[in-house]
Amino acid sequence: MKKFRTTILRILISLLSLGLVTYVARGNVLHALKHFRHFNLWPFILAVVINFVSLLIVSFRLRKILAVHEIKLSIGRIYYLWMISLFFNLFLPSAVGGDVAKAYYIYKDSNRKLESVSSVLMDRFLGLMGTVVLALGAFLFARASIHEPHVGFFLALISSILIGGIAFVTNKPFSTFIRSFLLQLTPKKFREQVKRFLDELALYHDRKTTFLVGFLYAVLAQTSFIVLFYFLAQSIQVQLPLPLFFVLVPIVTLLSMMPSIGGLGVREAAIVYLFKAYVPAEQAVALSILAAVFIYGTGAACGILFAVCGGGQMKDFNRLKTTSS
């Protein structure tokens, strides 16, 4: 019943978000589609190239994290897992469903369940760090041109949470205090598992250089994604300064992590809501359509690769769905 309620909630959030996009787009859909009549192919091709180059960057980041947890995988294998995670992102919960797939297949490769989950969670945390730091830096640089008053508050809130997470991972005294508190709150039957998970995170107390290098990889990868989005906008003649994308795109990324079906609806609503303050509504709608086509297109292409390379057994899909619920 709990799983059913969770699924219903995700579907409702996606539907409500799509309803919001439909409401904003009323009377603008045909105008939005007209932007595709003068579609510029070269910026779109550049976006595709940047997308797959960025996967190489995050593959190096994940390999460095896996090494901390004594898991050795080749860059080729990690790159493949990142590609198929784009496919799983399409239908697993929110825009982080691909993380569940990566953790599952790393576990199948290494037979180390806790270490696999810990590695993927740390990789996600570093990605969030890069996203938030870039957004905050761009906001401080270009705050005079930011029309949405809630952007600053949202970034400040996320940054404060992130600082607490950084302190927990890298500062031993602070981590020891929070660890004790968490273990006291954890029911006895789960306490040993939580303790082992916290022990995995404690590995970074003496590996601050690895943590920093992982963060730099995250900044580079997120920069690539922002530039990718800029070229997508250029391909449909949405002309906005690049620094503005460094503020808005990370916020879209963060909002798309809300519970939903593969980020569907939430991502499009965030794009329309944020960008319509700077361009006509029909252009914001056109950009959200193009972003959806790009994400679902690349995800589907990676799904074809997954199938060609053997795919997964039905029991694997069932386990992934159960784990992500």
Most confident listed range (13-17, 54-58, 84-88): 54-58
> What pLDDT, on the 0 to 100 scale, is given for residue 205?
84
The HSE-up count of residue 107 (CA atoms within 13 Å, CB side) is 16
Nearest to 271 by CA among 218, 223, 232, 300: 232
Residue 96: is its pLDDT beyond 70? Answer: no
> What pLDDT, on the 0 to 100 scale, is given for residue 98?
79
> What pLDDT, on the 0 to 100 scale, is given for residue 157?
85
Tell me the per-residue pLDDT of 28-42, one tens digit each, with 9 for 90 and over: 666 677 778 888 999
Q: Average pLDDT for residues 256-276, to the nearest whole number?
A: 79
> What pLDDT, on the 0 to 100 scale, is given for residue 314?
45
Tell me the per-residue pLDDT of 172-227, one tens digit each, with 9 for 90 and over: 888 888 888 888 888 888 888 888 888 888 888 888 899 999 999 999 999 999 99
- Domain coordinates in residue numbering, the chain: 2-19+36-324
Q: How far are the Cα atoms of 62, 63, 96, 101, 187 from residue 85, in angstroms, in the given order?
A: 13, 16, 9, 6, 32
Residue 19: is its pLDDT beyond 50? Answer: yes
Tell me the per-residue pLDDT of 296-320, one tens digit each, with 9 for 90 and over: 899 888 888 887 776 655 455 555 5
Residue with tokens 């797939």: 101
Hey, what's the torsion of the CAs at 309, 314, 318, 319, to 10 degrees? -60
Distance, in Å, from the CA atom of 94 to the CA atom of 172, rounded to the nearest integer, reads 32
**Which 3 state secondary structure label does DSSP give 72?**
coil
Most confident listed range (82-91, 121-130, 247-256): 121-130
Distance, in Å, from the CA atom of 158 to the CA atom of 152, rounded to the nearest integer, reads 10
Burial of 171 (0-12, 13-18, 19+ CB in 10 A): middle
pTM for the whole structure: 0.83
Q: Average pLDDT for residues 281-290, to the nearest whole number?
A: 88
Distance, in Å, from the CA atom of 242 to the CA atom of 222, rounded to the nearest integer, reads 14
Q: Average pLDDT for residues 160-179, to the nearest whole number?
A: 85
Distance, in Å, from the CA atom of 12 to the CA atom of 5, rounded to the nearest integer, reads 10
Distance, in Å, from the CA atom of 121 to the CA atom of 98, rounded to the nearest integer, reads 12
Distance, in Å, from the CA atom of 126 to the CA atom of 122, rounded to the nearest integer, reads 6
Most confident listed range (52-66, 80-94, 151-165, 184-198): 52-66
